[in-house]
Amino acid sequence: SSSTREEVLRDRRAQILSRGLPKQKPIEGVKQVLVLASGKGGVGKSTAAVNIALALAANDSTKEVGLLDADIYGPSIPKMMNLKGNPELTPKNLMRPLKNYGIACMSMGFLIEETAPVVWRGLMVMSAVEKLLRQVDWGQLDYLVIDMPPGTGDVQLSVSQNIPIAGAVIISTPQDIALLDARKGAEMFKKVHVPVLGLVQNMSVFQCPKCKHETHIFGADGVRDLAESLGLDILGDIPLHVNIRETCDSGQPVVISQPQSDA
């Protein structure tokens, strides 16, 4: 029948396409990889990645958690995790992650000066990503949280196609402009067969600290509507709160410094 013929053609096409893709190889010692992504920059993805990694560890003290900053051009994990310095090398020439709050961290920010710009072309960036994925001694991790750079380009594709990923989480504000890019991010993961666990709505509402009036600065429920249209879950709804920003800027993320707060 025509439907059977179409299925055979689809399978053959998928086989031909997959020949050109790199073979997925797990990161040694890492059980589960969770990627945090956003289509657009500036939506609080790194802040969410840091706090999610800390929350995973706080939620179950028997679990070992790592955090990989895959944003080569704008690494922010060192500042948020209050870490400085260069990684030591093991006898096997692997980099040892720096550790704080019980979380093993690796970032391009440990390998360059804090104020130095990374003025690199794509091939050099891809080489750096490969090193961060393959030349780090993570020990034994239950979860590795990867903070992806914004967008749907080379880095995202390379990470998605080189290592098995348990799931992706998309972070977005409710603003229409951010939602357009968040949709692209979700569609990209679908194309490379990475399960999207759900969406997180960030900066959803601002409450005035004096009068307690609530304002939806970036719009209301945009991410909820997007999740519904994509058939995905909403995993969290994070307010626009000065404490979240201040604690991350000072290297004491809110999950660690104010674990009982609403934020």
User: Exposed/middle/buried for 113, CB within 10 Å: 0-12, 13-18, 19+?
Assistant: exposed
The predicted-structure confidence for 194-241, as pLDDT tens digits, reads as follows 999 999 998 988 888 888 888 888 888 888 888 898 999 999 998 888
Task: Name residues whose C-beta falls within 8 Å of residue 175's C-beta, 6 or more positions apart in sequence.
Answer: 218, 219, 222
The sign of the CA dihedral 138, 36, 41, 257 is negative
Average pLDDT, the chain: 87
The predicted-structure confidence for 178-188, as pLDDT tens digits, reads as follows 888 889 889 98
Report the pLDDT averaged over residues 136-143: 95
pLDDT-based confidence at 42, cuts 50/70/90?
Answer: confident
Encoding tokens for residue 73?
A: 């051009």
Cα dihedral: 259, 260, 261, 263 (round 10): 50
For residue 115, pLDDT over 70 is answered with no
The pTM for the full model equals 0.85
**Taking the domains of the chain in order of start, what are their residue ranges?**
25-258
Residue at token pair 């030591």 = 88
pLDDT score at 162: 87
Domain 25-258 = CATH 3.40.720.10: no
Q: Report which of 39, 76, 35, 36 is spatially closest to residue 175, judged by C-alpha positions.
A: 39
For residue 125, pLDDT over 60 is answered with yes
